[in-house]
Amino acid sequence: MSSESVRRRPAQDPGDRLPGSEREMPGILRLAWPAVLSNLAYAMVGLVDIKIVASLGSSAVAAVTTGHRIFWILQAVMIAVTAGTTALVARAWGANDRAEAALVTRASLVLCCAIAGLMTLPAVLFADQLASIFELDAATLASSAAFIRIMSLFNVAFAISMVIGSALRAAGDTMTPLWIGLVTNVLNVFLVYGLVYGRFGFPAMGVEGAALASGLSLLAGSLATLLLWCGGYLRVEFRRGRAVTRERVRQLFRIGYPAGLEQAAMQVGFVIFLWIVSLYGTAPYAAYGIGVQILSFSFVVGFGFNIAASTHVGQKLGAGDPAGAEQSGWRALRLAVLTMALLSALIIATAESIASFMIDEPEVIRLTVIFIYILGAAQPLMAVDFTLGGALRGAGDTRFPLLTTLAGLVVVRGCVAGLLALLDFSVEWVFAALLFDYCVKSSLLSIRFRRGRWQKIML
């Protein structure tokens, strides 16, 4: 389906196309703030989870950090499909073709659930081998493997949440994912506290309890989303008819495979960096996990503007307004840079107090504070990465963000960190390697977006 076919495709029934006022697109802030609030709530829950797990020691924090990293590596293919979902649904919605948006969502859901199901068994069987990528002690590796096994059982639930959430945001509905996310996050905190410590009649499961709590809360949110969708209560409808066609599958993978490769490259880059950090011991590794979780209050704001930029750019292009799409991208960038810089400044100012609250190990606290200083300084550059990368993906230009990830994260960060470790620099210098990564990515994305070639991409 080309962009012209999206614009000119006839409606399948009179309700497929909506008149005048209903076609108006929400502004960047209106799209962004529910996503930002949802991500902030998620970050708060993540911080609470890490605080609860940190009471078990730095080894437990390292195990959860490893488990989450491997889990996200395994989701790369599903993320590829949902990148295609976002671009196609946004274009169809901008062209006022509600039927196509609904059928693309169904096709994406079928594909992602199939992929998630296929990934579950290998993840469970080879969890020990996956965890052993990192140079951690035997007890930490065993806990990491158990975390991976449990989380993998909820792959299909994750797929449902990803696809329907992406479709809703692409259609301009960021409120429904917000409310479902808030309820899910409250449930997560309750279950983590109960299953890690053995409260409320639950068994005390430690790290495994944290994984099970995350999985069960995710399952609850996914089931609620699925029921609302099938019941016709969501903005993107559940439509009968042939959804999984060769053309839609081709489009989803053609747009999505660079995003999937980007995610795979991103996770490989993170693994390389974490592997280098793990050579310095458990304390720096745990400091990385805690520091990322603390600063997530800043960069989840970037995720919100990423969603807004992707949706707005896709819808504007679908409506035949490339100039408006460009303006949306730059506006999202300005807002993201401002908010992320302010939040990171606040976090940097209180870094030592927050780190001391999170864990009671002096060396971990010291390294966490240093890591926060370094990653906090990179927040404006991360804002460029998030917003302009999201804008390009919303336009269907998913190949260039892949190239920037390969250049910045895998090559630059990996090589600089590896060289510093080889030359026997301290781990603090290794942490600083990420600054080079974000300088490269933000520069490349800014140049690409300014040149405007993404405006001519045909889907």
**For residue range 314-342, what is the model confidence (pLDDT) as tens digits?**
888 888 888 988 998 999 999 999 999 99
CA distance 308 to 39: 13
Q: Is the dihedral of CA 292, 297, 302, 307 positive or negative?
A: positive
In residues, how long is the chain?
459
Residue 450 is predicted with a pLDDT of: 93
Residue 449 is predicted with a pLDDT of: 94
Residue 60 is predicted with a pLDDT of: 87
Residue 13 is predicted with a pLDDT of: 39
Residue 41 is predicted with a pLDDT of: 76
φ, ψ of residue 41 to 5 degrees: the values are -65, -40
pLDDT band for 445, please (50, 70, 90 cuts): very high
Residue 26 is predicted with a pLDDT of: 54
Residue 436 is predicted with a pLDDT of: 94
Q: What b/e string do you get for 183-203 counting C-beta neighbours within 10 Å, with b at 16 or more?
A: ebbebbbebbbbbbbeeeebe
Please list, in sequence order, all residues whose beta carbon lies within 8 angstroms of the beta carbon of residue 209, skipping any fewer than 6 positions away. 192, 194, 195, 196, 202, 203
CA distance 453 to 392: 10
Residue 95 is predicted with a pLDDT of: 85
Residue 459 is predicted with a pLDDT of: 61
Determine the average pLDDT of the residues in 419-437. 94
Tell me the pLDDT tens digit for each residue of 199-212.
Answer: 999 999 999 999 99
Angle at 376 between CA 215 and CA 218, to 5 degrees: 10
Residue 32 has pLDDT above 80, yes or no: no
Tell me the pLDDT tens digit for each residue of 250-265.
Answer: 888 887 777 777 777 8
Residue 21 is predicted with a pLDDT of: 33
Please list, in sequence order, all residues whose beta carbon lies within 8 angstroms of the beta carbon of residue 224, skipping any fewer than 6 positions away. 180, 183
- Tell me what percent of the residues of the chain surpass a pLDDT of 90: 41
pTM here is 0.69
